[in-house]
Amino acid sequence: MLRIEVQPRAQKELLRIPKQIRLKIIKQIDELGEVNHPLQYRRVKKLRGRKFEEYRLRVGDYRVKFIFVKPNIIKITRFQHRQVGY
């Protein structure tokens, strides 16, 4: 199981997302927390060329960017629409 921490900047971004989509994102994050490593979850991809182990989770038109800190911590850094989230 993974422990999920949301950065303050990401919390503000999440509150700006429409409620129905926000609920879907929260559900996906909860499901992600049940695996042992982020890549075991089907919608997660590792971002290339990054300093840290940075990943993204696709939820509809939104992307959840996070850092995997070993042993079992995920720090969510951003919630972005896909047009700006790449």
Listed residue (6, 1, 2) closest to 66, CA to CA: 6
Q: Over the stretch 18-77, which tens digit does the pLDDT of each residue have? A: 999 999 999 999 999 999 888 888 889 988 887 778 999 999 999 999 998 878 899 999
pLDDT for 21: 95
Q: Do 64 and 56 form a contact (C-beta atoms < 8 A)? A: yes
Whole-angstrom distance, CA of residue 33 vs CA of residue 61? 21
CA distances from 68 to 15, 37, 79, 83 (A): 23, 8, 16, 24
Count: domains in the chain: 1
pTM strictly above 0.85: yes
- Residues spanned by the domain of 16: 3-81
Per the DSSP assignment, residues forming a β-bridge with 65 are 56, 78
Helix (H) or strand (E) holding 27, with range, is: helix 19-32
86 in any annotated domain: no
CATH of the domain at 20: 3.30.2310.20
Mean pLDDT to the nearest integer, 3-32? 95
pLDDT for 86: 59
